[in-house]
Chains A and B, each alone.
Chain A
Amino acid sequence: MGLFKRRERTGGADGPAHRLYFATDIHGAEVLWRKFLSAGAAYDARTLIMGGDVTGKVVIPIVATDEGWRADLYGDVQTATGEDQLKALEDRIRNSGLYPHRMTDEQVAEVGRMDEQRREAWFAEVMLVTFRRWLALAEERLEDGVRCFMMPGNDDPAGIDGAIEEATRVEACDDRIVEFGDYRMISLGYANRTPFDSPRELEEDEIYARVSRLADQVEDRDRLILNLHVPPHDSQLDIAPALDADLNVVMSGSEPKLVPVGSTAVRELIETYQPLLSLHGHVHESPGATKIGRTLAINPGSDYHTGRIAGCLVTLAPDRVRHQFVTG
C-alpha cells in the first residue's frame, strides 16, 4: 500500500528537513508583501524567498481639491474627504500594486511635462519611499529564526538594490551565493531580452556567464539551489501569450497563442549543474513544477492584482525535495 505509506516529516538519517516558502512577482501589491511576511508562521517555514519583481509599475496621483482628494484609477474617479477616507483610498490603491502619491494639480502637470528619463527618476523616488517602508515592516513582522531573502527582478529599477543591502532583517541574495541550513543558493534577478525593454535584461550568454561563475564555486550540487528570476526555456514554466510588434496578444482562433519565452541560458545552466532545486518567476501565467534531469524546477506564478499571493512551500531533505503550491 505504497499510496498510504507515511513519510517521515524529518529529513531522515542525514538531518532534519528544511521548509522554505517561495513567492515572486508581487509587483508593488502591499497586501501581498504583508502576507509574505506572515508566511513563516502560517506555513511553519524557516526561510522565505522573494524571487524578484517586487516593485509596482504605476503611480496614481491623489490630487488635493477644495473638497478633499481625488484619484483617477483608469477612468474610475474616486474621492476622499478627511484623513480616514484618504488613508482607506491609499490602502486600496497600494493593495492593487499601485503607488498612491499625494500631489497638487500643478505637480501632476509638471510630471506630465517631464522627459522619459526624468520621469523614471521621479518614479524611482516615489517607489523607494514605499519600498523602504516595506523593509521596515519586515523588521517588525518577521519572527525570530525566520530568514528572509529578497532579490530584484527584471522589472525592478536600480534604486532598490541599495535599500535591500541596507535592510537588517531582509537579506540580499542577488548575484551571489548565500547559505541557509545545509543549502547554498545562487540568485539572479536579470531576465533574457523581452519586448518591453525592462530595466534588468541581459543577453543569454551573459546570464550563463554570471551564474556559472558562481555555480563553479559550489562543490555539493546535491544541496545547491538556483533562484533565477526567469524560468528555463520550453519548460512549461515559461508559457506566455505571443505578442505582435505593437505588444498586442496574438490570437490563434479564439484563444491566445501561447509560446515559450524563458531563457535558454537558464535551461542550459540547470542541465549542466543539475541543482537540487531551481526557483523561478517572471511568467505569471505559467505556474507549475517540472523536472529537468534530477532538478525540480518551480514557478508559482503570480496573481498579484487579486490580493492573493501565489507561492510554493518546498521541503528540502538530503535525499529528496517536496513541493506544494499554496495561494494565501
Chain B
Amino acid sequence: MSSTPPGVFQRKATGLVREGRTRDALFYNIMWSSVALTFGFFWLFYAVYPGANAIIGFLIAGALGLPGAFLYAMLTQVMPRTGGDYVFNSRALHPSIGFASNFSYVFWLAVVIGVYTTYIAEYGLAALARTIAGYTGATWWLDVASWLTSSWGLFIVGTLLLIGSATLFALGGLRLFFRIQFWVFIVYVLGALLLPMLVGLFSGDGFAGRFDAYAANLGVTDASTKLAASATDAGFASTSFSWSETLKSVSVWWFIFGFIYSSNYFAGEIRMQRRTHLFSMPGAVALVVIILLLLTPSFLNIAGYDVMAQFGLADPASYGFAGAPAYAEIVSIASGSGIIGSIVIIGFAVSMIVWLPQTILLASRSMFAWSFDRVVPEQLSAVEPRTRSPLTAILVMLALSIASTAVYAFTDWFSSLAALLGLSFTLLVTAISGVVLPFRHPRLVAGTSFGRRVLGIPLLSLVGGLAVLGFGTAITILLIDPWSGASLSEDPLMIIVVGVVYVVAVAIYLISRAIRRRQGYDLDLAYRELPAE
C-alpha cells in the first residue's frame, strides 16, 4: 500500500496506474483532425471566398468548436465507454436518438471518405507525378498525373487505397496499423507542417519565376501570366477584406475544429487520468490554432492571397496542370527543390492516407457499441481471432467507402464539404445531451468533478448550452454558405437528406427493438437506470 497525495491512502490492487497519457490522446485528436487537408483545401476555396481572412476564419471556427471540445471531454469523463457519442446520447436522451445520431455520423463519415480517397489521387499522387515532371522535364509523368486526376484514375486509386487499408486491418490487425501510423505521423509533421513553414519563411520573393520554370518543364511558358489571365477571365478581381466572406469561410475550417474530439471513441478501452480529456480535446483545439497561426503567415509569405485565389479560379490547363495545385505542390514549387517538394507532397498525402484506416476503425468501434447493446446483429462486431479485427464491420465500411469514392469520382452530387452538415448534427445532439444529462441522471453527474453548479445552473448544462451555441452557429454558417454543399439556397435537398438519415436510423432502431422483443430480448433494459435508493 502507498500513500499518494496527502490524505489519500491506496492499498495494493490492480489497475491503479493503468492509465493513458494526455499527450497520446492529444496526438490522436490532432492526427484525425485533418489539419493539412483543410489547409490544402483553403487555398483552393479562397477563390470562392474573396476577401476572406484565413486567420480570422480559423479563429472563429476554433472558438465555435472550443465549448464542444470541453463538453466532449466532460462527457467522456462521466461515461468513458467505447462508442463515444452513441453512449452519451442514448443514455441522456433516448436510445433511438443515440443510435440515430451515431448512425448518421458513421453514414456521413462513409460519405466524406470519398473526399479523402479522391484528394489523395488528385492532390497527392498526381501532384507528386507533376512535381517529378516539373523538376526533371520527363513529360510522361504528366500523362500519369492526367490519368490520376481523371474519373477512373480517382476511382481506381481511391479504391485500391481503401482495399489496402482494409487489408491492413484484416492481415495485421490494429497492432500493425498503429506501428505504421507512428511513422506516418513523423512524415506528416515533417512534410506537411514543418517543411511548409520553413519554405514559407525562407523562400523569399520570386515565386512567379519558380512557377514559370516549373511550368516550362510541363510544356507551358510564362505560366504565371497565363494563370493571372485565366483567373481574370473567370472573374478574379483583387478584393479587400470582407467580414461576410470570412464568416462563410468558417465552413472550410470547420473540417478541423468540428471533429477534433475523436479520442472519446477509445475512452472505454483505457482509463485516462482525471484531466486527460480536458487537456487532450480543448488542448488539441489550442494546439491546432497555434499550428495554423504559424503555418498561415509563413505560407502567405510564398505568394500572397491574390495568387492563391488565382489558382482557385483559373483553368489549370491554361498553365499546364491537369488540376489546381494544393498547398503542398505550391510549397514544392516555392522550394525550388524536387526533393523538398516531394517530401512535402508525400507528407500531405500520407496525412490523408492514414485518415482512411482511422475512420474505418472509428466506424467499427461505433458498430461494436450498437452490437453490444443488441441493436444490430452481433455478427457486425464479430472479431477475427488472430488479429482481433472486426472483419464484418470493416467490410461494411469498405463497401460504403468505395461507393463514396465512386460518387466523388464520377458525379458532382456532393461537394467536398457536403458531409459536414450531417456530421455536425451529431455534435449538436451531443451538446443537447450535455444540457439535459444533469437533470435526467443527476446521480451520474453528481459523482464527478463536474457535479457543481455555476449561478445555479449545472456546470455540464452550462457548457452544453455553450456547445449548442457553437455547433448551432457552425450549422447555420453551413446552411448559409453557398459553397458548403449544404446551403439552403444552393443545395436545399441536403438538409432533407440529413433528416432522412435520422428517420431511417430511428426506424432501424424501432424495427430492431420489435425483432429483439420477439426473440426474448428487451432492448430497453440495456439502457434502463437501476434504482440505487
**Which A residues are closer than 8 A to B by beta carbons?**
3-9, 31, 34-36, 38-39, 42-43, 57-61, 63, 71-76, 92, 95-96, 108, 111-112, 116, 119-120, 123, 154-155, 157, 191, 194, 196-199, 234, 236, 239-241, 243, 247-249, 251-258, 282, 284-285, 287-289, 303, 305-309, 313, 315, 322, 324-328
Contact at A251–B373, with CB atoms within 8 Å?
no
Residues A72 and B7 in contact, CB atoms below 8 Å apart: yes
**Contact of A306 with B18 in the complex, beta carbons under 8 Å:** no
Shortest CB–CB separation between residue B134 and chain A, in angstroms? 34
Query: What's the A-B contact tally at a CB cutoff of 8 Å?
Result: 206
Pick from B80, B270, B373, B374: contact of A241, CB below 8 A. Answer: B270
B521 → A minimal CB distance (Å):
5
- Check if B472 is an interface residue, CB within 8 A of chain A: no
Assess the A72–B269 pair: CB atoms within 8 A.
Answer: no
**Does B185 count as interface, using CB distance less than 8 angstroms?**
yes
CB contact between B525 and one of A35, A43, A157 (< 8 Å): that residue? A43
Cα A243 to Cα B20 with chains together (Å): 10
Chain B proximity of A243: nearest CB distance (Å): 7
Q: Is the CB of B20 within 8 A of A95?
A: no
Inter-chain contact A60/B447, CB cutoff 8 Å: no
A-B contact pairs, 10 of them (CB 8 A): A3-B515, A57-B15, A71-B7, A72-B6, A155-B14, A196-B16, A243-B17, A253-B177, A254-B185, A308-B444
Question: Would A249 and B8 count as touching, CB distance under 8 A?
Answer: no
User: Assuming A111-B9, A287-B372, is B24 touching A239 (CB within 8 A)?
Assistant: no
Task: Judge whether A92 and B80 touch: CB under 8 Å.
Answer: no
Give the residue name and chain of the A residue nearest to B381 (CB). Answer: A288
Cβ contacts B421-463/A at 8 Å (1 or 0 each): 0000000000000000000000110110101000000000000
Query: Could you tell me the distance in whole angstroms from the C-beta of A114 to the nearest C-beta in chain B?
Result: 9
Looking at chain A's contact residues, is the secondary structure mostly helix, strand, loop, or mixed?
mixed
The answer to whether B529 and A328 touch across the interface, beta carbons within 8 angstroms, is yes
How distant is the Cα of A252 from the Cα of B181 in the complex, in angstroms? 9
When A72-B5, A95-B443, A196-B15 are in contact, do A324 and B526 touch as well, CB less than 8 Å?
A: yes
Q: How far is the CB of A76 from chain B (nearest CB, A)?
A: 6
- Contacts A35-B532, A196-B16 given; indicate if A327 touches B447 (C-beta within 8 A): no
B185 to chain A, nearest CB (A): 7
**Besides A241-B270, A306-B78, A306-B447, 12 new A-B residue pairs in contact (Cβ under 8 A), listed by A number:** A9-B520, A63-B7, A72-B5, A72-B7, A95-B447, A119-B9, A120-B1, A154-B14, A236-B388, A253-B185, A257-B178, A325-B526
B178 touches A254 (CB 8 A): yes
User: Does B411 interact with chain A (Cβ within 8 Å)?
Assistant: no
B447 near A326 with CB under 8 A, answer no
> How far is A48 from B114 in the complex, measured between Cα atoms in Å?
49
Given A74-B5, A95-B447; A247-B530 close (CB under 8 Å): no
Closest to A73 in B: B8
Q: Enumerate the 8 nearest inter-chain pairs by beta-carbon distance, A residue then B residue, closest first.
A: A328-B530, A253-B178, A72-B7, A35-B530, A252-B178, A253-B181, A253-B182, A254-B28
